[in-house]
Amino acid sequence: METAGGGWTVIQRRQDGSVPFNRTWEEYKLGFGNTSGEYWLGNDNIHLLTSQENFTLRVDLMDWGGQTAYAEYSLFRIQRNS
């Protein structure tokens, strides 16, 4: 991802509602959708990516009118499913 200097991993993309996100915990655990469209990377995958060091989470939003906003969180990780 080229935002803010690049180096970002996109863990979720919502753009047109083509993929339903009302899912079971197991589906969120494993991930769903397709990286060329709408998707959730999966809690297990995000845990593997974030468990070894500290990461920053950046959330970019755009409404249907094209207005944008973002927020950055300096420490982000997903813990192992217990």
Ordered by where they begin, the domains of the chain are 14-76 (3.90.215.10)
Q: Is the pLDDT of residue 57 over 80?
A: yes
> Which of 27, 80, 15, 17 shows the shortest CA–CA distance to 49?
80
Joined together, the tokens standing for residue 19 give 């993929």
What percentage of the chain reaches a pLDDT higher than 70? 98
Task: Return the DSSP state at 3.
Answer: G
Share of the chain above pLDDT 90, in %: 66
- Phi and psi at 55, nearest 5°, equal -130, 155
Alpha-carbon Rg for the chain, nearest whole angstrom, is 14
